[in-house]
Amino acid sequence: MGREPACGFSVPQNGFRFRAILCRKRYTADAKVSRCWWFRKKQQCGVNMGKQKKTRKYATMKRMLSLRDQRLPQHPSCLFFQYNTQLGPPYHILVDTNFINFSIKAKLDLVQSMMDCLYAKCIPCITDCVMAEIEKLGQKYRVALRIAKDPRFERLPCTHKGTYADDCLVQRVTQHKCYIVATVDRDLKRRIRKIPGVPIMYISNHRYNIERMPDDYGAPRF
């Protein structure tokens, strides 16, 4: 026999199952009440409980970047791929310090050997940094200083800070693509090769040779 509860009806022997059913019903009822209360609270706060419907956008265009945008790589207008259109006779050749010294050792006249190499008029150019570097070398290189002061050489003033000649030449060639760099320094050659459209003049077999010069200009290759 089951005992009589306070509610007035008897609980059967399998009372545990009956209690579990009562607890489940009470739990679902409490969950429904709490859900309704939460939904009412959301509506009072003005929050939309429904799922937002996604609409497909038609005739949308991607934003086009202008040609003057700073995020785009800027290339000089004188270059057609690797072809430099600013090169042409008379050629302006930037001369390095060691190029003058090796020309003296090889007994080469700078202006005449340049014309023999390029088959055109050449104007050697020397910057203030290169001139200061030659003056710092002392009396041992007085012949190179006398050649650098030749009136046929065009003197280029420098407005930047410092007197390091390699940085001066690289900076000038990067800004102005109308020069040919004459040097035998390996480090300077490596830096110039990274700049597109700039030929390099060097000394080999007691003569001047040109590197990265377009074939249309008629420069010989030895």
DSSP secondary structure, 97-158, as one string: HHHHHHHHHTT--HHHHHHHHHSS-EEEEEEHHHHHHHHHT-GGGHHHHHHHT-TTSEEE--
pLDDT category at 60 given cuts 50, 70, 90 is low
Quick one: 29 and 116 in the same domain? no
Q: Which residue has the higher pLDDT, 2 or 36?
A: 36
Q: How big is the CA angle at 133 (ends 97 and 124), to the nearest 5 degrees?
A: 40
Q: Mean pLDDT over all residues of the chain?
A: 76
| Mean pLDDT of the region 63-72 | 71
pLDDT category at 121 given cuts 50, 70, 90 is very high
Is 42 contained in some domain? Answer: yes
- Supply the range of the domain harboring residue 201: 79-217
Quick one: 93 and 134 in the same domain? yes
pLDDT at 114: 92
Is 8 contained in some domain? Answer: no
pTM over 0.85, yes/no: no
Quick one: 30 and 99 in the same domain? no
Is 2 contained in some domain? Answer: no
pLDDT at 164: 84
Quick one: 39 and 86 in the same domain? no
pLDDT tens digits, one per residue of 4-19: 444 444 545 545 454 5
Q: Which residue has the higher pLDDT, 161 or 220?
A: 161
Q: Domain with 92 in it: what CATH number?
A: 3.40.50.1010
pLDDT at 206 over 80: yes
* Count of domains for the chain: 2
Is 72 contained in some domain? Answer: no
Quick one: 145 and 185 in the same domain? yes
pLDDT category at 159 given cuts 50, 70, 90 is confident
